[in-house]
Amino acid sequence: MSARELLALVLQSGRPGESALDVAGNLLGAYGSLAALARALPEELAAFGGVGEAKAAALVAALRLGRLAAADAVPAALRSGEDVAAAALRELADARRERVIVLVCDAANRVRRVVSVSEGAVDRSLFPVREILNAVLRHDGRAFAVAHNHPSGDPEPSEADLRATDELSVAARTVGLRFLDHVVVAGGEWRSAVRERR
């Protein structure tokens, strides 16, 4: 079934003059993609013609269930940028402001904990190197990866992102930690700032 048809099943009914399929199509058209729709706030959805509070709650629940199901596919160990991106996309999919998360790993690069270390403005995040390292050490990590989102929709690492990557790499070596990667996500796309530096 298409995304439109699945949304129509969740909605169950439309409104006068429009079927559930019509309302589902309007929602997808207004938000541009299923990923963007999944980031919508319940009150935004409730205000959309033909939705209302009950259907908005059902939509939010269905989309969240989809993300939880996708989380089962996230690898337990981080072996590549793809693994870091999969974990980051799960954590940052709903973020409307830039957020920086740390994936704290054991000696075998198995994810022990995900820690959010900062949240910035819509177009800017803070990248606290000391706080990132403290989060890893506080949770007995031996290795770590960092990820943050770009709400602008462009996953290309900025110059500030690349500088932060360099600082983290040096600082991690200084305290005896393995820095695995720094991934920038936007929508469903991602880029590795570590690869950009090579």
Q: What is the per-residue pLDDT across 63-111, written as a single tens digit (0 to 9) for each?
A: 888 766 655 544 578 888 899 998 888 888 767 788 899 999 999 999 9
140 has pLDDT over 60? yes
Same structural domain, 61 and 90: no
- Whether the predicted pLDDT of 197 surpasses 70: no
Inform me whether the pLDDT recorded for 158 exceeds 60.
yes
Query: Both 92 and 177 in a single domain?
Result: yes
What is the mean pLDDT of the segment spanning 14-22?
Answer: 92
Identify whether residues 98 and 159 lie together within a single domain.
yes
- Residue 162 confidence (pLDDT): 92
Same domain, 65 and 94: no
Q: Are residues 111 and 52 in the same domain?
A: no
Whether residue 153 sits in one domain with residue 56: no
Identify whether residues 97 and 65 lie together within a single domain.
Answer: no
For the residues of 183-198, what is the DSSP string, one character each?
Answer: EEEETTEEEEHHHHH-
Look over the chain and give the mean of its residue pLDDT values, rounded to a whole number: 86
67 and 110 share one domain: no
Number of domains in the chain: 2
Residue 76 belongs to a domain: no
**pLDDT number for residue 138:** 94
Is residue 45 predicted with pLDDT exceeding 60?
yes
51 shares a domain with 90: no
Residues 54 and 96 in one domain: no
* Owning domain of residue 170: 81-197
Cross-sheet strand order for the sheet of 99-105? 111-119, 99-105, 143-149, 178-186, 189-192
Maximum average pLDDT range among 88-97, 119-128, 181-190: 181-190
CA distance 26 to 137: 48
The CATH number given to whatever domain includes residue 86 is 3.40.140.10
Same domain, 111 and 175: yes
**Backbone angles phi and psi of 25, in degrees to 5:** -65, -40
Final residue before a domain boundary, out of 51, 71, 91: 71
**Residues 133-159: what's their mean pLDDT?**
92
Confidence label for 128 from pLDDT (cuts 50, 70 and 90): confident
Which one-letter DSSP state was computed for residue 126?
-
